[in-house]
Structures are given as C-alpha cells and as structure tokens.
Structure 1
Amino acid sequence: MTLSEGSQPPVSKPPESRQPGAQPDLPGDGKGPGTAPSAAATAWHSLTAAQALAAQESSAEGLSEAEAGRRLVECGPNRLPRAKAPGALVLYVRQFKSPLVYLLLAASVVSVFVGEWSDALFIFVVLQLNAVIGGYQEWRAETSAAALDRMMRDRVVVLRGGLAREIDTADLVPGDIVRLESGGRVPADLRLLEQHELSVDESLLTGESLPLEKDVDTLVPAAAPLPDRLNLLFAGTTVLTGRAGALVVASGAGTQIGRIASALALPDRAPPPLIARLERMGRVIGIATVVAIAVLAVVQLLQGLDLLTVFLVAVALAVAAIPEGLPVAITVALSIATGRMARRNVIVRALPAVEGLGACSLIASDKTGTLTCNELTAKRVLLFDDAGPAVAGTVGGQGYRPIGTVAVDSRAPSKQELAGFAELARSAALCNEAEIAFEDEEVRHLGDTVDVAFLVLAAKLGLDPAALKGSYRLHGMIPYEPQRRYAASFVSGGDAAAGPVSAGTTGGATVHVKGALEVLLPMCDGIDAERALAAGDAMAAEGYRVLAVARGSVSRDAAERADAGSLRYLRLLGLVGLMDPLRPEVPQAIQRCREAGISVVMITGDHPETARAIARELGVGDGDPVVVTGAELQAAAPATQGFAAR
C-alpha cells in the first residue's frame, strides 16, 4: 500500500478587502512556543504579504532589537524540541525499573534478614552488573546524539531596524525578516515577501524529490496540503536556486518540522514488547511464588513444624524461584545487538528498542532518501527524427556518480545512436545553470536538481560538463520560470570534441532549449505533435518526469538579446525521463520483509499515479498497489482512529 499526500490546484483569489488599518481575520487562536501571540493556527498561506506583516506586528524593515529580544524571551529559542538528556545517575536508576528486578531486590533483602549473605551478595552483584552495562550503553547513545546536535549550528542574515546583520538561527523570532540565497537552509517557517527565481528542495518534509518553484502572490485555501503552499518556506528545507526575503511566521516547536519533533519527543505511550513481556513474567513469577509459599506454609504448619522453620523454607523457595541471572543475560544480549547496530551507523538510545525493532509487523517508510537515492537521475532517453520517436535508450547508474551507460533494447547503441544521445546531452548541459565536480569518490554539485541530472547524463556519455561550458561563448539566456516552463541558452563556438553547433550562417548562434514538451512543440518544425505527446504521456505514466530538449539556429543579434521570439523552427532532439532512482538494495529488502511477515507501506508526497508506479517497481503490495491520499486517510481517521490502513 502507498500513502500519497496528493495536491490541490492553487487558488489565486485574495482574501476579502478590509478597511485601512484593520487586522486580518486569523483562523484559530492560542499561543505556543515558537509562535507569536494569537498566531499559532494562522493560515499564513491564505494571507497576502502585507496581511502577514500586519498579523506579526512587523514591517519591511524588520523588528527592532528590543522587540526581538522581548519575543525571544516570550517564544523561546528557535530550536527543535528535545527531551532533556538524562544524567548518569538517572540512566543507572532506570535500569532497576522492572518487576523482575523488584523481586530480586526483595529476595536480596530477605536473604540478608535470615543471614544468607552469599545469596544476598550474589543477587546484589547481578543487579549492579545489569545496571552498569545497561546504563553505560544508553549513556554512549545519548552522548553520540548530543555530539550530532552540537555539530549543527547555522547562521542567517536578518533585518533588524532596517539594518542587515548575521545572527545564530537559534535567535530568530516570529516577525523577523530574513534573507536567503541558493544553497542555504531555511531556518524557520517563513512567509515569502519577495523572491527571484526561487526553487526549494522540500524532500525532508514532503518526500518530493523534485524542486518546488515558489511564488509570493499565490494564495491557497487554509486546508491546502504543504506542497501547494507556494508562498511559504518550511524549516529544514533547502534553497536550491534564487534569492528571497521572507517573514518568520513560526520558529522552534511552532514550525511544521517542530511539530513532528514534538510528537517524537513525547513519552512512549506503550512499553517496548520486551519490557511488557518481562513485566508480565515478573508478575506471573511473583504470584506463583506467593501461592506456592502459602500452600507450602499451610502444609508444614499442619505437620507441626515451628514457625521459624516454615519461614526459612519459604525464603529458600522464593530465592530459588527467581531467575537471578536473567536480567544480566538480557542486558548483555541487547548490548551486543546495540553494538552491531552501531557498526551500521544506527544509534540505539534505549536497549529494549533493539528487541522492539525485531518485533515489528509493519514498516511505514518514507520514500525520498530512504527507499530512493534522493538524487534525481535521467533514466530514459527517447530520440526523435523527422517522423517522431525513433530510438529509446535506458540509462544505467544511480544518483550523481557518472557511472552507467546507455542501452538500446538491452544492447549497446550503434555509433549513430550514441552520437544522437550525446547531441541531446550536450544541448541539455549547455542549457544549464547548475555546477558539478567529480572529485575521487565525492561529487560536489550546486543548483537545480534537474540541471544536475542533465550534467550527470552528459558525463555518462563521455562529455566533460565543465569543459563543455568553457568551450562555448554564452550570449544570452532565458532562465526557467514556472510560468514560462522552459529555459534557453544562446551560444556560439565549440571545439572539435564537442562537435559543430554554430548556425549555418556566418555570425550566427545556436539556441539550446529544454522544458515541458507541450511548450516546446510549437517552437519545433517538422514534428508529429500527436505522436510526440503520446510518447511523453507514456513515459509520464511510468512515473517519470518528462522534459523535452531542442536546438536551432538564430542570429547573433537575437542571441545577444536572448529574444524569445526567435525560438522558431527548432529541431526536437528528444525526451528525457527523470526519476529519483530506487536504492539497489531496497526491492530485495522489501521482499525479505514480506517473507518474514512484515507489511511495508510507502509514504510519499508524490502524485498518486507516480506513487503507484514506484510502489509497483518496489514490489510494495500485491499486483496493483493500493494508493491512499492524505485527504482519504484523514476522512477515514474517525472510523479507523488513526493509521490503520493496510
């Protein structure tokens, strides 16, 4: 089964007009950490930028230092909520919270009372060994988690009293105005005030691996899902391209990711399976021992034995019935398992969690970055000739490593086919604003993930992206915009290795274009539009994001002006299918889970049909996977009392 958030079309209708100076109607009320007064439940994506500023009692110049300090005291630092780390003494004492341990303590006390010092000493040593081993393992896990927290310190440019300054993100408060640029991490939940060619990676929050284009003026209903809130930025996401100025509307626990962290920080509602079974066994042993002692005492008293002898026999029975070595045996076994998990880069903060993992019957897994590589990759290439689709190629390799080749019908492409693939990849790499560098085992990249994917495709086909751009002169560029749905680069020059790309007339230039197929088709000449659209639809039905690539000749003057009107009579080179590829080991892991009786559910923010295609490839579900959207799950929640879908 697959859970998909789905989406709604953006609504551009603004809220009702108001009298000057009136406050906007804010749905909901209340206060909470990381939110300004009376703004905890405000639907910021339904308010204009001016209304959002008014609701936060801020301005385009930002807050004053005094007001920012007051709000910091009121709202608290901009940090994710986390439970206070337990000290060594707390971890030590926590190891004694078990009915079985209580029985052993009682047996130890009774042994001391009757003078059985050897039994008392043995039980004491066992309990201490159990507490030390368990406490030490949990202390190591807490220390490792704290070290990871200390490594994550970010700074952000904020506007205070009209002056820009850099501060720690922990000092941000609702009402602050922040400035963001490409490559930066969004420090809090923000309402956009201005933006320039802004795209954001929200895969951390929504599971969507494709970049999301943001827009200041798009207003959507209060109930709109997160991916549709195009005028908001969410804490923890990453700015891929562009710049923005934005208003902080929630910080810390008040952010979307903060709410998730708050839920995870709550005490467990139910004990782990191992603890529950040990508690049940402790109660059974305790009750059985008391019943046996009572029966034996009655029998011995009826036989005329004195009271002291009956008491000593009862104590001996109680000590013998309690498994003194069981707690330390369990602790040692769990410690060994914890060490094995640590070698797999998994921090286990509580020993019983290891056994709880082994007792699970359902795994609800995020898609992006867990089941997939979270690295958008070109996987299909469809070359066109004058008649339409001609050669279909499958691209090997995963992620951003330039490892993989193109195959045509499970064979190596011919020399002519390979030249066609390289020509398409060259055009896509030249119509590109991303940067990538391959350094030994590390890949460094910057820019839109779609552009990065095209650079990797070029590298797989034997082209050097950096050298390729350096061998051409860029005259002009039409950058990608959501409303435009295409990008174009006007270049001239090239070298022998790259092949001739200059226009047929002296002083001309070449334009390379990539974008949505339905947008590029009117620019192209001599192509069967119906067949091209059918080919694109077929690729999209398989879960690919489909982009078209075209090229043509223009005058040098048109190139210098980046004239969109000159994009005519282009040649459609082909279509590229992009997908966040599955991790190679995942399908086998899912199959092993199913063989072990563990159900697997994929959770994603993808379109339902895309989610279905990916789930089918993963082997999630039998036959045709069942897809449940967020709206359907929410509607079923009263009847199912939460997540109960299979």
Structure 2
Amino acid sequence: MSKAGGDDLEKADLNSVYATLKTSTKGLSKTEAANRLQKYGRNAITEKEESALRKFLRFFWGPIPWMIEAAALLSALIGHWADFAIISLLLLYNAIAGFWQERKASNALAALKAGMAPKAEVLRDGEFTTIDAAEVVPGDIVRIKLGQVVPADVRFVGGDSISIDQAALTGESLPVNKKIGDLGYSGSIAKRGEMTAVVIGTGRNTFFGRTAKLVAGAGRGPSHSQKAVTQIGDFLIALCLFLALFLVGSELYRDIVIAKDWHWSDVLDILRLVLVLLIASIPVAMPSVMTVTNALGALTLSKKKAIVSRLEAIEELAGVDILCSDKTGTLTKNQLTLHDPQLFAAEDKATLIQAAALASEPDSDDPIDKAVFAGLGDKKVLDTYRADKFTPFDPVSKRTQAQVTDSSGKTLLFSKGAPQAIAALCKLSGDTADKADACVSDLAARGLRALGVARSEDQGHSWSFLGILSLEDPPRDDSRQTITRARDHGLQVKMITGDDVAIGKEIASQVGIGTNIRAAGDLFSKNQDMNHLPARVVDCVETADGFGRVFPEHKYAIVKALQGRGHQVAMTGDGVNDAPALKQADCGIAVSGATDAARAAAAIILTAPGLSTVIDAIDEARKIFERIINYVLFRVSMTLDIMVVVVFATVFFGFPPLTPIMIVLIALLDDVPIMTIAYDNTLVPSKPVHWQMRQLLLGASIIGLFSIAQSLGLLLIGMEWLGNPQWQSWIPLSKDQIQTVVFLQIVAGGHLLLFVVRARGAFFSRPWPASRLFGAIVGTQVLTVLMCGFGWLVPAIPWAIIGLVWLYMIAWMFVLDLVKRILYRHQQKSTYARGEKS
C-alpha cells in the first residue's frame, strides 16, 4: 500500500489529516476498520523467504562444488566406490557446515517483526478496545500510555503531553516530549504521560517499516572471501581443463596414431587418468578448512567479548579501513552528568543543584532528573523539604514545577526546564537576559545541553533566575585511547549520531576523531536515491570525520557511498535504526546492549561496552586472515605440483606417478595439520589486509613451479634408477615403489612447504609454529614414513630410500624458502610503487 495521504500527513494540520484519512476524534467503526484492513493490509512487516531446501542446495553450486561433483560422478562411472564415498562425504560436509552457519546468521527482518507492538488500544464504535497491533489501520484513534509501544506512525491529537523513547529508531539519546500535532514513530516507547493519536501509517509504510525495507534491500552480495574462493576455483578449473585436454589428447594420439590399436575399452583407462587428475586438482577441503579456521577464530573472538554470527565477517573485519561508530554508549557513557554550572541569583553551585533537584521527580527514569540527583553533594538536604505538588515536564511550557514546604513552614516553588522558558518565566531583561542568552549559545556551541533553574517565594507571582546547569554525556574513559589504537591499525573512524551536530562535534573533538562533523540532512535530500549518490556527496562522506542528525537511510547511504569508493566498512550500532547499515556494511557490529534487530542484522555482536573490543577483534581477525592466506598459498602450490607431475609422468613415462587412493590419502594427511593452522602463531599486520588475488595466485604459482621442479627432479631420479643396473643392484626399485617415493615426497615435502609459506621471513624465524601445528605435522610425517616403510595402503620402499628422500626434501626446503623471501620482497616493492603513483 502507499502511505495514506503520503508524507504530507506528517506535517499537515490535524483537520487536513482527519479529512484525508476520512476519520475523526471518534475513531472508526469496526466495519470500516475491517474494510481498511483489507485495503491497506496488516500492520506488520512481511517478507518473502527463501526455502530452507533452496538455501541448502545453493551450497552445491559453484566452481569448487562443481569440481568435487565431477570427481564423484567419474568415480561412480568407473566403479571407484571408495573414492566416490570419500568425495561425496566431503561435499556433503561442506554444504552442511555452510548451511548451518548461514542459518545462525542475521535474520534482521524477523527481529524487526518481533519488535512490533503486540497489542494496541483503539477507539472503535465509540469505545476503546484492546486488539492485536497488526489489526491497526490508518485513521484509527489509539491511546498510548506509560510503558506501551507506539503501534504505528501517528499524530498526537489529545491529552496533555507524552514523552517517548525513540532512540532505537532515530538515535536520539534522550526521550522526546510530544504535544498535540506532533509525530510519533511506530516502535517507540512511552516513558511518561498519556495521549491519544490518529494513525497515519501502518506496516511497511511506517518509519519502522521503511527501515525494514532497507534491511531487506541491504546486503553486499558475496563476501570478499567467497569471491576469493570462487577465483581460486576458476583458476584451478582452467588449469585442470587445459591439463586434462592435453592428457586426453596425448593418450588418444598414442593409441590411435602411434599404436593404431584403439578399443572402446580404452575410454575407461582415459577416464581413470582424468579422475586422478581431477581429484588432484580439487582443493576438496578448502571450504571446510576455511570454515573450521574461521569457526576456531570465532571461538577466540568470543573470549574477547565478540560473538561472530557470520563467519566470513572475520576476514571482512581484517580488511576494514573505515570504522563508522555510533556515539551514545559506544564513544560515550550513555549517562548524562552535570557540567560546570553558570550561577545567576544562586549563592553557590550546591544551592543551584539543590533547587534543580527539588524541581525534579524522585525515583524518576528521566535521564535529566537522574543527572541532577547524581550531582547532589548531600542528598539528605532534601529531607528538610516536604513535597506538596509536582507538575511533570510540559512540552508547551517546556518546564517542570514543584511546590514544597521548607523546615520553617514556608511555601516555595521551584522550576527547571529550557533556559528560554525559565528566562521568560523570570522576565529577564537587560544585561541579565543578554548574559543568559550568551551562556546558552556558548553551551550549545560546545555540544552541551542547557537547563535553566528558577525559584519563587511568593506563590509564583515573581521568580528568581538561579542559574543554568549544563549536562553532557561524557566520553568513555577509554575512547580516546581506542581511537588512537584504531589509527595505529590503519583505520579511519567516523562518528555517526542522531544527536545535533554541535554535540557530535564536541564529543568527536574530545575523543580525537576530528571536528569535521556534517549534518546528514544537508548532504542527503529526502527523496534521493541512496544507491546512486552524486560524486559531490560521496566526496563529502569520504572526507568527513562524522555526521550528526542521522536517520536510518542516511547511515545506509554513508556505508554504500564509502563502499563505492573501494573502502571496506565496519559499522557499529545498537538500534533498529542501525539495522540496514549493519547489514549493508562489510562487517556490521552490534554493540553491547543492542536491540534484537541490530544483533540480527550484524555479523559481530559485542558483549562488552566501548570500541576497544572492536580493535581487539580486528587484531584477532587479521591473525585469522594471515592463517587462511598461508593455507591458500600452501594448497594452490601443492595442487599445481600434483597436477603437473601427474600429467607429465603419464604423458612422458606412460604411467601415473600416483594412484587415486594415494591422492585421497594425500588430501587426508594434509588436512590433519591444516586444521590446526587456526591455532598457529602469526604476526599481526599493522594495516588492513585484503584478498590481493593477482599477487596471491602469482606467488602461489611461482612457489608451485619450484615445488614441481622438486617433485619432477625426484621422479626423474626414480626413472633413472629403474634403468640403471648399478643402482638397482644396490637397492632394487619397481614402478610401484617409485609411486610410493613420489607419494612420500609430496606428503612430507608439502608439510615442509607449509613451514616455509607460514613465515614472512626465514622459516626458522619467529613467530615459530604453534605446538598444535608442529605436533600435527610431526605426527603425520611419522605416520607417512611408517606407511611407506611397512607398506600400509601403499607399496613398501626400503628405509634407506626413505632417508635419501628426506635429505633431498630438506635441501629443497632452503631453496623454496629463498624463493619465497625474494618473492615477498618483490611484491612489497611493487605494491609500494603502485601506492606512490596513486
């Protein structure tokens, strides 16, 4: 539906609102309400959900799943059922693990729906009745009391006043006082007073519902890590197809042209060769290893008070270069405190605060009242007064008033409220009025809230202007240090708040963010397409230190604008208003005490207050990213090694150097230490880290080429051994045993390569391998040696040959380490040079 009457109803006079909605202060009849429910729909957020089966089947679609599925199909076609079972189980495990993590991830729309008020009091047929909030329609007259949730977007039409907390929607840190004609947002909560209101918008056409639309439309598509896995898969598929065509072409040429002895049974032999190559080319465990590594990293982050709800967000967090932080409760304490008071007629500071306390409501939840009582030096002084009458804050007069009797029996009146209202009450003029105005302007410029206090000793006939209290929500004690840490980590921090620009500028200055705080409303027009912002606006977003008076669509637009400039953006938030931006951000972070909607939309949920936990999480995320990069370097290098050696030996020596079961064993033996890489010790990069696929694949390919040289060198030595009678008389070897030699070299040499690629310097430099990784590698090496020595699952080879192979691999380990260090040095220089040009 369209909002009844459109956005004009938010600003039109009440008579026009009644006329447009065809209603009155008497409300609707039940019949008319039922008709409108049919016309406008239920006052609820509905969304189209993808079936669980469809979500699950998506995990069988993509480059790496295709490769695994092709290998499983070929295994079944040629009757290799053991290979088929192992490959199918790995494929199923990857799908189940991914589906489970996605199921646990953000479901912001469900949380938003749960946030709708379950019940509402509506005026139907002349009587107030309680109905489900989902049945409220435009034109209904609703009654809203203390503690109730506003069920729809409304305009207040009756009653004295009401104070509603809409912080979760707009980001304002204090409850907002409403009077007749004011607008109330769906999902806000009444904190004081009672009023009636006319409903002007329901469901998706409320402020709350438009936020839900943004959440539904938000999202970045595949994460950087998912794109990286796809690119790695594409690279390996292309190489596999090239080598498979070369292998099949060579075999066909040999059988048809040279041997001239072609039989259809030869197809089975060719399929076996292709199967060996396909199994060799698939990084079968790559999705599983990345999932497990991230999951173990998530466990570590949970100990740092950061709960991960979307695993790939860990890698996104490692690359974040802009952190958009909300103000209240994250950078500040979310607790108003009294600042330096400005004295006028008051004798001293204590007298001024005491007067303000007498004009406040004891045990009130109002943050201003709490701040005033907290500022009292001696609360017992209030016991000398008897409270006779208290008038709560009135949005028309903009002040509170209390009548008390002191210990001598004298009646006194005290009032506190907006300085302009208190000044008018006291009839200030001349220099005193100018001084008060200057004081209020100065406080506003510094981002402080001003509160005037007055006293009357003659039943309110004349008032004395005692002074002005200033209030602030002070920065957290660790905020400035945390901002400094963030900058040291290569992060730019932008503050985003629903409060006024002056307040934002003051806090941003105090914590060290900067003073270039822009009003979001000045940058983004109301009907602007937030997905296609002008370059001028994006430039302002990129250079600003923060934004004030921010609405949900502004936060979303800020994130989109920064992402459009190539930034990886983390966004912190705690309210419904933050949900769209949290979902759109590369890494949405729900801070401590966040609403269900914010937690559901976020990828990481903090359980400790402040930003320091975010920086701790970034440290851990960068470690995790480094471990995954180490795995990818190892896996791609080894995959290249196995594929090329298999094709080379098959084409030029006429036999495959590895059997299918050997390749499966290699995968299983590799994955034991690889799973422990999540515990490995790594250096923490000082700057954001990203998937630089060109450099990564180039580096892995170069290391892979030298690994190929290592394996082919040993294979050539083995073939020479077969044809050398002198060597055969010393230690006889068969072709089957040569396969075992190659198997030993690839398993053991691969694990030594893991020691090489995990270190950015020499492999023997700090940080040394974690005990779990080292123990896993040693354990698998001992098992591999025993398998080769005793002939478990592979043909046995002499122990002397095992010793010679190990000497050969250790020598190559130093060669590979030298290649790696030269490669890193060259890549660092080229990256720096590109940065200089840009």
The answer to whether the superposition gives a TM-score over 0.5 is: yes
| TM-score tier (shorter) | 0.7 to 0.9
- Specify which of 376, 379, 386 is matched with residue 463 of structure 1: 379
For residues 424-475 of structure 1, give each alpha carbon's deviation from its aligned partner in whole angstroms, at most 9, with x where no partner exists: 3322121013x43xxxxxxxx53x43223223333xx3426xx94x763334
Counterparts in 2 of 1:337 and 1:59: CA distance versus 1, 3 Å:
farther
Q: Which residues of 2 match residues 260-409 of structure 1 at below 5 A?
A: 260-266=211-217, 268-303=219-254, 304=258, 308=267, 309-339=269-299, 350-375=310-335, 377-382=336-341, 384=343
Contact 1:297 1:310 in 2 (8 A): yes
From the superposition, tell whether residues 59 and 524 of structure 1 become closer, same or farther in structure 2 (CA, over 3 Å). closer
Q: Shift of the alpha carbon at 1:147?
A: 8.6
Letter in 1 for 2:26: E
1:426 corresponds to: 354
| Residue 540 (str. 1) matches residue 540 (str. 2) | no
Asked whether 1:108 is paired with 2:108, we answer: no
Structure showing the higher helix proportion among its residues:
2
* Distance in 2 (alpha carbons) for counterparts of 1:48 and 1:578: 34
Check 1:552–1:48 CA distance in 2 against 1; reply closer, same or farther (3 A cut).
Answer: closer
Alpha-carbon offset, residue 286 of structure 1: 0.9
Secondary structure, aligned partner of 2:375: helix
- Cα deviation 1:347-376 (Å, max 9, x = unaligned): 75544344334433333333334444444x
Q: Deviations over 1:380-416 (max 9, x none)?
A: 1325377x9x9xxxxxxxxxxxxxxxxxxxxxxxxxx
Q: Quick one: distance in 2 between partners of 1:343 and 1:71?
A: 52
Spell out, residue by residue over 1:80-135, the C-alpha distance to the aligned partner (whole angstroms, 9 max, x if none). Answer: 34453753x44533433432112111111112222333322221121222223333
Judged with a 3 Å threshold, the aligned counterparts in structure 2 of structure 1 residues 431 and 250 are, in CA distance, closer, same or farther, namely same
Give secondary structure in 2 for the equivalent of 1:43.
helix
- CA change 1:364–1:97 in 2 (3 A) is farther
- 1:161 aligns with one of 125, 134, 140: 125
Letter in structure 2 aligned against 1:117? W
Partner of 1:452: 370
Alignment-mate amino acid for residue 449 of structure 1 = P
- Structure number with the bigger relative contact order (C-alpha 8 A, sep ≥ 6) is 1
Matches of 1:179 and 1:340 in 2, distance apart?
49
One-letter amino acid of the structure 2 residue matched with residue 514 of structure 1? K
Which of the numbers 595, 604, 608 marks the counterpart of 2:501?
Answer: 608
1:546–1:85 Cα change, 3 Å = farther
Task: Compare CA radii of gyration and give the structure with the larger one.
Answer: 2
Give the direction of change, closer, same or farther, for the CA distance of 1:482–1:151 in structure 2 (3 Å limit). Answer: closer
Indicate the larger mover: 46-55 or 252-261.
Answer: 46-55
- Structure 1 residues 579, 83: closer, same or farther in 2, change over 3 A? farther
Cα distance between partner residues in 2 of 1:321 and 1:576: 73
Change (3 A) 1:580 1:62: same
Measure, in 1, the Cα distance between the counterparts of 2:111 and 2:446.
43
Instruction: Name the counterpart of 1:193.
Output: 157
Contact 2:138/2:200, CA 8 A, preserved across alignment: yes
Match 1:593 to one of 472, 478, 486: 486
2:590 is aligned to none
Are 1:511 and 2:413 counterparts?
yes
- Could you tell me which residue of structure 1 aligns to residue 187 of structure 2? 236
The Cα shift of 1:70 comes to 2.9
Pick the structure with more strand per residue. 1
Q: Which position in structure 1 is the counterpart of 2:29?
A: 64
Partners of 2:388 and 2:403 within 8 A in 1: yes
So what's the TM-score if we normalise by structure 2?
0.57
Deviation by residue 1:577-631 (Cα, 9 ceiling, x = unmatched): 212333444444433333333333222233322222222223224xx32424322
Question: Which of 385, 393, 399 does residue 486 from structure 1 map onto?
Answer: 399
Secondary structure at the counterpart of residue 92 of structure 1: helix
Letter of the structure 2 residue corresponding to residue 548 of structure 1: G
Aligned pair 1:257/2:208, yes or no?
Answer: yes
Q: For each residue in 1:518-553, what CA deviation from the matched residue of structure 2 results, as whole angstroms up to 9, or x when unmatched?
A: 554545799955555544433332210011334353
Q: Contact 1:78/1:172 (CA < 8 Å) preserved in 2?
A: yes
Q: 1:638 to 1:526 in 2, by over 3 A?
A: closer
Q: Determine if the alignment matches structure 1 residue 625 to structure 2 residue 543.
A: no
Aligned length: 526
2:15 to 42, 50, 64: 50
8 Å contact kept, 1:373–1:582: yes
> 1:434-445, aligned counterparts within 5 Å?
435-436=362-363, 445=364
Partner Cα distance (1:144, 1:601) in 2: 24
- Contact 2:343–2:349, Cα closer than 8 Å, also in 1: no
Displacement of 1:277: 1.2
Distance 1:239 1:598, change over 3 A: same
Q: Distance in 1 between matches of 2:517 and 2:433?
A: 34
Distance verdict in 2 for CA 1:44–1:449, change over 3 Å: farther
- Tell me, which stretches of 5 or more residues in structure 2 are unaligned? 543-838
Partners of 1:585 and 1:166 lie apart in 2 by: 47
In percent, how many aligned pairs have the same letter? 30
**Is 2:44–2:202's contact at 8 Å kept on the other side of the alignment?**
yes
Instruction: Specify the alignment match of 2:462 in structure 1.
Output: 566
Alpha-carbon distance in 2 for matches of 1:474, 1:140: 54
- Structure 1 length as normaliser, TM-score? 0.72
